[in-house]
Amino acid sequence: MRVTPSLLMPGPGLRRATRGVLDLAFPPRALDEKPGAANLAQSRGLSAKVWTRIVFIEAPLCDRCGAPFEYDLGPGALCALCQSRRQAFDHARAACLYDEHSRDLILQLKHADRTDLAGLFARWIARAAADILPDLDAVTPVPLHRWRLLRRRYNQAAEIARPLAAVTGLRYLPDPIRRRRPTQSQGGKSGSGRRRNVAEAFTVPDRWRRKVEGRNILLVDDVLTTGATAEGCCRALKAAGAARVDVAVVARVRETAPRST
Ligand SMILES: [Zn+2]
């Protein structure tokens, strides 16, 4: 049976932050905005109002790309896209929907030096990817090109991937994927345009191959949109001998099941 995942919200697979959800992803005391909780430092400047606007993605999901289903189709069920197309990744998971609320938070990490948000995002991802984590060996970020890294001073994907490795106990591989050349800005490009733009833009240097070969690797980024960037990274890791490459992000688009990223 071919099933098109409904991304209408809220549905069984989508849940606005409730106390029950946040108890797992975030300490209740932080919701109450009481100072002094050990983990509250990681939520500095974020209010309960912000939390309740985030739409977390919950099961049932497409087993491969993590697209939320409207109905539980049983274990291992795949969405129409994953049934019809081989994905570059083996599994993808996202903590929440990419909308104006999650975008605001992610942009704070990306452009406003809110690196304190990274640990929180790492815990969101650890929860969203709980079903795939036991099979994984290592965590690695989607790379920024060097000049972008110089301008921004840090790679937001690495800021998330590092604490994710710490909370999951997986090995952290900081730099196995290189961008061959800076990709043009992705803004305004179509999905196919983005994929062409990043085609063959990634490679794994020889010195990293030994740490990649035969491993099950989790590729981390902040957002999954067309999947072009993740697809390029997954292909590079697989070409270097990775046995399996999964993708985990803070937020994914709701309109379409991404091809990968
Ligand atoms: Zn799918």
pLDDT value of position 5: 40
Structure tokens at 201: 């833009």
> 82 C-alpha to center of ligand 1: Å?
4
Rounded (5°) CA angle 118-209-162:
10
The pTM score is: 0.79
Give pLDDT, residue 112. Answer: 75
> Where do runs of H (alpha helix) occur along 26-132?
28-31, 48-53, 80-84, 100-111, 117-128
Report the C-alpha gap between 198 and 204 in whole angstroms: 15
pLDDT at position 127 is 94
8 Å CB contact between 231 and 143: no
| Ligand 1 center to 147 CA (angstroms) | 34
User: CA-CA distance, 176 to 205, in Å (whole number)?
Assistant: 7
179-182, Cβ contacts within 8 angstroms, sequence gap of 24 or more: 179/143, 179/144, 179/145, 179/146, 181/145, 182/145, 182/147, 182/148
- pLDDT (0 to 100) of residue 111: 78
Place of tokens 């969203």: 128
- 126-139: pLDDT as tens digits: 999 999 999 999 99
- pLDDT tens for each residue of 176-201: 999 886 555 555 556 566 666 665 78
Three-state DSSP at 28 gives helix
- pLDDT for the residue numbered 17: 53
Determine the distance separating the centroid of ligand 1 and the alpha carbon of 226, expressed in angstroms.
13
pLDDT for the residue numbered 114: 82
Place of tokens 């903590």: 95
> How far apart are the CA of 150 and the centre of ligand 1, in A?
36
DSSP for 111-171, written as a single string: HS--TTHHHHHHHHHHHHTTTTGGG--EEEEPPPPHHHHHHHSS-HHHHHHHHHHHHHTPE
CA of 117 from ligand 1 middle (Å) equals 28
Measure 33 CA to ligand 1 centroid, in angstroms: 37
| CA distances, 202 to each of 6, 8, 32, 193 (Å) | 33, 34, 44, 16
Residue 202 CA to ligand 1 center (angstroms) comes to 24
Find out whether the peptide bond into 28 is cis, omega within 30 degrees of 0. Answer: no
Q: How far is the CA of 128 from the centre of ligand 1 (A)?
A: 15
Best CA proximity match to 112, nearest among 146, 147, 156, 144: 156
Per-residue pLDDT 10s for the chain (261 aa) are 344 444 333 455 566 654 444 444 444 333 333 333 334 334 555 667 777 888 999 999 999 999 999 889 999 999 998 999 888 999 999 999 999 999 998 988 887 778 888 999 999 999 999 999 999 999 999 998 766 666 667 889 999 999 999 999 999 999 999 988 655 555 555 656 666 666 578 999 999 999 999 999 999 999 998 888 899 999 999 999 999 999 999 999 875 544 444
Q: What is the pLDDT of residue 186?
A: 54
Report the separation in Å between the CA atom of 51 and the middle of ligand 1, taken as the mean of its atom positions: 27
Give me the residues near ligand 1 (ion), CB cutoff below 5 Å. Answer: 62, 64-65, 67, 79, 82, 257
Q: How far apart are CA 213 and CA 216, in angstroms?
A: 9
CA of 115 to the centre of ligand 1 (A): 31
How many angstroms does the Cα of residue 123 sit away from the middle of ligand 1? 23
Ligand 1: centre distance to CA 259 (Å): 8
